Amino acid sequence: MVAEKEYLIHQLLPHFEFNEYGCYEVRFCLDGAWSSTLIDSFLPSIPSEQMVSRAHNKRKDDHGIVTSDSGIVFKPAFASGTVFWPAFIEKAYAKIHGSYARLSGGFISEALYDLTGAPIERIYFHREYDADELLARLLSFTSSGFLMGIATNRGGDGLVPCHAYSLLGVYEVHDVIEGVQGKVTQYFNNQTSFDQNSMDNKKERKTVRLVCIRNPWGTKEWKGSWGINSENWTRKIRQQIGEEFLKQGNGTFFMSFEDMIERFDHLDVAKCQEVRNHLR
């Protein structure tokens, strides 16, 4: 979630560029106050499954992948990827907590506060609430640029039980018709003329409430209604959602607002906004 906001990254890493000394400052909001932690650039690494031809010297590519003399490719063991700064933040977070092992598990609210210093609000989905009011609040949170994390209460249909997800967007699309996948037999049945327009005319126009969610693992996506392979999507709905629709895949997916309420337990909101001189 923090990676979506550039100002939050620079708040955590005030000196973002690489330096020749291999020493980096990382800032966290701990117990209500911002404090700095210094780390070196040595990261715990593991050999990847990819093997390369034997190399004479160690080298590092643009993605931070190191090749050893034996020809084995190494990558960061934890926050691995194509950029280094998440691994630096994770190392500093492990340092202040005592070890990497102690970062396993925890609550979304705790991490959001440590990483942003913003006020946190928790909303439980299974307590009494007004659905329209809750949707309006989530739309307001989205437009304000707040960070939102949600946690499952049970798994299934592609969801991981007791797992944290990022809530990237909330959408309300009016006066649309959900899609339908015509059966092959409808095209060849002499007694039935398949006409998509006539089918649409028979269907009820409605307001569709959708949410865009990301699994930080980059895998295991929702397989139900409004997932990437769902029949509910139409060209008109895709156009109204816009470029956000292209984010589906690699752990990012859509589902209905109602399904989110049913399948997730609670929402944590970090009410952070970019303010000049916020570290003074």
pLDDT by residue, tens only, the chain of 280 residues: 888 899 999 999 998 788 888 899 999 999 999 999 999 988 888 877 654 444 445 555 555 555 555 667 777 777 766 677 888 999 999 999 999 999 888 899 999 999 999 999 999 998 877 899 999 999 999 999 999 999 998 899 999 999 999 999 999 999 999 886 444 344 445 444 445 455 455 568 899 999 999 999 888 999 999 999 899 999 989 989 987 777 888 899 999 999 999 999 999 999 998 875 544 4
At residue 245, φ and ψ (nearest 5 deg) are -65, -30
**pTM beyond cutoff 0.85:** no
Render pLDDT for 187-234 as a digit per residue (tens, 0 to 9).
Answer: 445 444 445 455 455 568 899 999 999 999 888 999 999 999 899 999
Question: What span, in angstroms and rounded, lies between the C-alpha atoms of 263 and 149?
Answer: 14
H-helix segments, 117-244: 131-144, 184-188, 196-202, 235-241
Backbone angles phi, psi at 256, to 5 degrees: -75, 155
- Categorise residue 22: left if φ over 0, alpha if ψ from -120 to 50, beta otherwise: left
Where do the domains of the chain lie, and which CATH numbers do they carry?
1-43+84-104 (no CATH), 45-83 (no CATH), 108-280 (3.90.70.10)
Containing H/E element for 90? helix 85-97
* C-beta contacts of 125-134 below 8 A and 24+ residues apart: 125/260, 125/261, 125/262, 125/264, 125/265, 125/266, 125/267, 126/153, 126/265, 131/257, 131/258, 131/261, 134/261
Distances in Å between the alpha carbon of 197 and those of 176, 179, 201?
13, 11, 6
Tell me which amino acid residue 128 is.
E
Tokens in use for 234?
């139409």
Q: How far is CA 14 from CA 9, 83, 118, in A?
A: 8, 17, 18
d(CA 10, CA 117): 14
Closest CA to 257 of 144, 173, 156, 143: 173
